[in-house]
Amino acid sequence: MSFSFLQRGSLPEHARQLVLASDEPALVLESLVTGIDNLRHDVYLSPKFAETARQHIFKLVAKHGNVEELVAEERTAVRVPARPKVPANRQSDASDFKRQLTELHAIALNRAKAENNVSLDLLFRLAVLKFQRTELLNQYGQVLERCRARVKFYEAPRQSGMNRTLEIRERLAGFQINKKTVLRRAGQDLFVLLREAEKETLGRTRRSLFGDALTATYELFLNRLVFSEDGQDNLLNAEHYVMLGTYDRDRDRFQAMRDIAAQYLKSLGLVPDVDDPRVDGILNVPENAHEIMAGGTPEDTSPKGKAQKALLTAWTELLERENVMGNVIASYEAVPLLAQYSPPINPQQLKNALTSREERKRVETLLEEHGKLSPDELHAAARKVEGCKPAERAKIAGRFFADFTRYHRDLRRMETVMASMESVNVLGNERFRELSAINNTLYEFLLAEEQKPAEERVIHHVVLKADIRESTTLTRTLLEKGLNPASYFSLNFYDPINKLLPKYEAKKVFIEGDALILALFERDGEPALGVAQTCVLAKEMIQVVTAYNERSLAAGLPSLEVGIGISYQDSAPMYLMDGNKQIMISKALNESDRLSSCSKGMRRLLEDRELLFNVFSFKAVEDEDTGGNPDEFLLRYNIGGIHINAAAFEKLRTEISLQAFDLQVPMIWQKTTVRVYAGVVPLGQGSFHHVIIREGRIAHVDARDFSLKHITDRHYYEVCTHPKIYQAIESVSNLAATAR
């Protein structure tokens, strides 16, 4: 195929002004063992989810096939193959299916994070998609079998009502004729539900655990074509992309249009040959269509706009020369006609009738046979195709290039997913499941209620200490006012904090009048988010105290000052027994005590300053004078702050994805650059919480007047609580997102 343009020599010059991207979809599974056939990875999906999915898909097929009442169980009337019973409290409806689907996806994500292998989650995604695609066909067969059983029932000698029998036969025939339409609609419902779950919960959970690095890989699954049979459904393409030809004689078949697009890219000097792999890479990025020809509406007020207009003209002329421009225009004009004429008219036949008089006559004959369908709209659309003006033709050509690249991208993504799906073996046979499990080659994904109770083996733990400042002075002040200190501490601190503990499964280790010590445990086989959840718990504790302080001040009561220390230990705690009472032994207890403390001198120095941070660490002696443990001789400030140890920060970096930001903020001595790390903590059930960690550097001060000597290279870490810090990061993040 060859062509030439009057402005051919200038096209590469115009193209040099463009900034184009390229994309080659890929899905790689790594560090996974093959299953019992030594070829594929064995996956076993939750039986409860599988049954809920089957019943949900069964209902979708019946609904879109317009046979819902025909498949309703009437045990006294029709004997149909029994379906597995579902308990009354586990009814298969859209909400239950969506809940289980979301839960199972979250379980797979957490497992992938715990085992530091994202391929586990990708394997699950492939398996659950393969299962749903298989069940679409299986459940269509189940619905069809039940409809046939209903027909036999009405055809029985004792039954009366010939009209009803004829009606059911017609419904059954329509169900069979419209099989592709039924499966398409049911599949798109499944896609929409997955997209909602991804938007509401799964996407945020994944980004919080793995960051944005894997976004392109997961976009492969958010593709409506993966729920279609082969990606070439006329009605699906007409609604969401563009309806290309499907008959062998059609000039606008996908491959033919891809070849034309390749010739066009070659003419721009973007690829050396039509078979170059870069052709697919460029066509896989729909944004390139806007960059090349502005979606069919370039403005020639700038050099780039003039170049885009020339490139659009070249593309339009190429379509005209290849004699496909009429097909392109017809593909859009046919869409409004589909609702009226299809069925009974095939969508491709309807589209071709807009460009071929011979085909139009055939369609008119078919319409006459159906009696009530007028050809007026068909004739009006044909006139629009024939009378389309040059300016409008160019605009449609640009629109087509954009729609074609979107379809090209999604088709290539679908092919990538389908190829990867071949490496997955979704086991349904119990014997094969046992064989794979015995050989340690089985990947099971079960709902929480189906999983065997894990051994209560603690592998890591986090200790949180909340220390109330000046509790003695506060108690004396309350007594002098004739108030009850016990009820004050209880109502303003302990009671509201107690309500938070079940949410995080935090356990009380110790409690006294001015301090509360909590522990969060990480157990073998559970999601390892101990530090992240402790940080969120600490933030909520600070927010609770702040809210109650506002009420106390309004009532003329004193306020509470709290400092929180968080220490992570990469092991289980030990215990000694005091009678029947367990007493925890852990170095994290002592460290959390130091982190929550506040030096009186530092409090006097900083309490009146307006700062955005609540935790500071200083040293006033040389390291060689500390006897080997410099941390014990640090001067700390912690009023309303959350101080975490370095081990907790490093653990947090493995739990969630943290993004570093540098902020210019006022500090104690001057305005300076502060490094913070922002991330999102998944708390389950679609709940997420932002956390920001400040990495501070310990200042060396003069012990006599606390003047700054220099800033050391040693770090300390604070969970930020000031709203302005979160607002600043949100603003920077939005700017970065806009720039991308």
Q: What is the pTM of this model?
A: 0.81
Q: Are residues 679 and 715 in the same domain?
A: yes
Distance from C-alpha of 43 to C-alpha of 436, rounded to nearest angstrom: 9
Side-chain-facing half-sphere of 258: CA atoms under 13 Å:
19
- Assess contact for 695 and 245: CB atoms under 8 A: no
Phi, psi of 274 (to 5 degrees): -65, -20
Q: Average of pLDDT values for 506-534?
A: 88
- Assess contact for 292 and 308: CB atoms under 8 A: yes
pLDDT, position 737: 45
- Assess contact for 257 and 324: CB atoms under 8 A: yes
Chain centroid to Cα 560, Å, comes to: 41
Distance from C-alpha of 546 to C-alpha of 542, rounded to nearest angstrom: 6
Q: Are residues 353 and 470 in the same domain?
A: no
Q: Are residues 53 and 161 in the same domain?
A: yes
Q: Average of pLDDT values for 490-518?
A: 89
pLDDT, position 622: 61
Q: Are residues 415 and 430 in the same domain?
A: no
pLDDT, position 579: 72
Domain that holds residue 475: 458-739
- Assess contact for 9 and 306: CB atoms under 8 A: no
Q: Average of pLDDT values for 125-141?
A: 97
> Per the structure block, which two tokens stand in for 24?
């080659």
Q: Are residues 601 and 662 in the same domain?
A: yes
Q: Are residues 501 and 601 in the same domain?
A: yes
Q: Are residues 374 and 500 in the same domain?
A: no
- Assess contact for 31 and 118: CB atoms under 8 A: no
Of 675, 713, 721, 372, give the one whose Cα is nearest residue 536. Answer: 721
pLDDT, position 540: 95
pLDDT, position 487: 86
User: Which of 67-81, 429-443, 556-570 bottoms out in mean pLDDT, i.e. has the lowest?
Assistant: 67-81
Give the count of beta carbons closer than 10 Å to the beta carbon of residue 134.
13
pLDDT, position 130: 97
Q: Are residues 718 and 636 in the same domain?
A: yes
Q: Which residue's entry shows tokens 């799906």?
A: 421
Asked, for residue 225, whether it belongs to a domain, the answer is no
Asked, for residue 312, whether it belongs to a domain, the answer is yes
Q: Average of pLDDT values for 106-115?
A: 92
Residue 478: DSSP 8-state: H
Name the percent of the chain in helix, strand, coil, to the closest 5.
55, 15, 30
Provide the H-helix boundaries in 422-567: 430-438, 471-480, 485-489, 495-504, 530-554
Distance from C-alpha of 540 to C-alpha of 517, rounded to nearest angstrom: 15
| Residue scoring higher pLDDT (89 or 445) | 445
Determine how β-strand 458-468 pairs with β-strand 442-445.
unpaired
pLDDT over 70 percentage in the chain: 92
Q: Which residue's entry shows tokens 């032994």?
A: 585
Q: Average of pLDDT values for 126-150?
A: 95
Band the pLDDT of 391: cuts 50, 70, 90.
very high
Residue 613 has pLDDT above 80, yes or no: yes
Asked, for residue 226, whether it belongs to a domain, the answer is no
Q: Average of pLDDT values for 612-623?
A: 83
pLDDT, position 158: 57
pLDDT, position 169: 86
pLDDT, position 72: 78
Of 527, 500, 536, 506, give the one whose Cα is nearest residue 690. Answer: 536
Band the pLDDT of 191: cuts 50, 70, 90.
very high
pLDDT, position 73: 52
What angle, 0 to 180 degrees and rounded to 10, lies between the N-to-C axes of helices 390-421 and 325-333?
A: 80
3-class DSSP state of 530: helix
pLDDT, position 528: 84
Residue 84 has pLDDT above 70, yes or no: no
Q: How many Å is the Cα radius of gyration of the chain? A: 34
Quote the longest CA-to-CA distance of the chain.
108
Provide the H-helix boundaries in 198-268: 203-210, 215-219, 234-240, 254-267
Q: Are residues 503 and 573 in the same domain?
A: yes
| Residue scoring higher pLDDT (171 or 633) | 171
Distance from C-alpha of 647 to C-alpha of 654, rounded to nearest angstrom: 11
Q: What count of residues does the chain have?
A: 740
Band the pLDDT of 81: cuts 50, 70, 90.
very low
User: Which of 10-19, 28-37, 455-464 bottoms out in mean pLDDT, i.e. has the lowest?
Assistant: 455-464
Q: Is 470 left (phi over 0), alpha (psi -120 to 50) or beta?
A: left
| Mean pLDDT, rounded, of the chain | 88
Number of domains present in the structure of the chain: 3
- Which amino acid does the sequence have at 86? V
Q: Are residues 18 and 41 in the same domain?
A: no
- Assess contact for 682 and 205: CB atoms under 8 A: yes
Of 497, 511, 615, give the one whose Cα is nearest residue 566. Answer: 615
Asked, for residue 626, whether it belongs to a domain, the answer is yes
**CATH number of 624's domain:** 3.30.70.1230
Band the pLDDT of 514: cuts 50, 70, 90.
confident
Residue 589 has pLDDT above 70, yes or no: yes
Q: Are residues 311 and 347 in the same domain?
A: yes
Tell the burial category of 240 from Cβ atoms under 10 Å away from its Cβ (0-12, 13-18, 19+): middle
Band the pLDDT of 740: cuts 50, 70, 90.
very low
Q: Average of pLDDT values for 159-167?
A: 69
Give the count of beta carbons closer than 10 Å to the beta carbon of residue 484.
11
Q: Average of pLDDT values for 462-485?
A: 87
Give the count of beta carbons closer than 10 Å to the beta carbon of residue 98.
17
Q: Average of pLDDT values for 43-63?
A: 96
Band the pLDDT of 633: cuts 50, 70, 90.
low
pLDDT over 90 percentage in the chain: 62
pLDDT, position 629: 55
Band the pLDDT of 454: cuts 50, 70, 90.
low
Q: Average of pLDDT values for 700-712?
A: 80
pLDDT digits (tens, 9 = 90+) for 212-266: 888 999 999 999 999 998 898 999 999 999 999 988 889 999 999 999 999 999 9
- Assess contact for 238 and 429: CB atoms under 8 A: no
pLDDT, position 240: 95
pLDDT digits (tens, 9 = 90+) for 357-378: 999 999 999 888 877 788 899 9
pLDDT, position 28: 94
pLDDT digits (tens, 9 = 90+) for 254-292: 999 999 999 999 999 999 999 999 999 999 999 999 999
Q: Are residues 336 and 353 in the same domain?
A: yes
Distance from C-alpha of 650 to C-alpha of 114, rounded to nearest angstrom: 15
Tell the burial category of 312 from Cβ atoms under 10 Å away from its Cβ (0-12, 13-18, 19+): buried
Phi, psi of 85 (to 5 degrees): -75, 145
